[in-house]
Amino acid sequence: MQALSSATSAGASLRRRGKVVEAKIRRSPLAAQGVCHHWSMSPAREHDLAVPNLPSRDFDATELFYGAFGFVCQYRDQGWMILTRAGLQLEFFPFPDLDPYASNFMCCLRVADVDELYDAILRTGVPVTTAGMPRLHPVRRQTWGLRAGYLIDPDGTQLTLIEQRP
């Protein structure tokens, strides 16, 4: 595998505040060939964080559901809610009219011990089934190489529970 540090650069023009500025785009040589499916993680920077923004029909119900398997509310007002569990963070926005059966929201939770997270969810009574919400799908080795299971929350959001290799 070639590391990201051997990325190539290309120029691009961007329009920012009405002005055209030049920018460097860093691409992995493998990405330029259409090959992006390696599973190494980039080195973490202390304050870098990407967080899913997910819908909630009812913040009280969402907090209760996720709190049952260890998420803790870090912030909440009428327009935003942040829940955390160890190194995981989920942020929610109000969407009271969401049809959970038509929802296409999803995110991935990459954890060192996917079995612990799955078991914590299972202990709350979320059923293992193929229909309804909420529901769980068992952790299995996926065709793409990693072990993963799925949680569909009460709002129809699919959370892919992935075992992250070191």
Whether 55 has a pLDDT exceeding 50, the answer reads yes
Whether 13 has a pLDDT exceeding 70, the answer reads no
Domain boundary assignment for the chain = 1-35, 53-163
For residue 158, list its beta bridge partners: 106, 152
pTM of the model: 0.74
Which tens digit of pLDDT belongs to each residue from 86-129?
A: 999 999 999 999 999 999 999 999 999 999 999 999 999 999 99
Sequence-distant (≥ 6) Cβ neighbours of residue 139 within 8 angstroms: 114, 115, 118, 147, 148, 149, 161, 163
Supply the pLDDT for residue 131.
95
Supply the pLDDT for residue 2.
35
Mean pLDDT, to the nearest integer, of 60-69? 98
Residue type, 86: A
Supply the pLDDT for residue 25.
47
Distance CA 100, CA 68 (A): 20
Whether 37 has a pLDDT exceeding 90, the answer reads no
CATH class, 53-163 region:
alpha beta
Which has more pLDDT, 150 or 1? Answer: 150
Q: How confident is the model at residue 48 (pLDDT cuts 50, 70, 90)?
A: confident
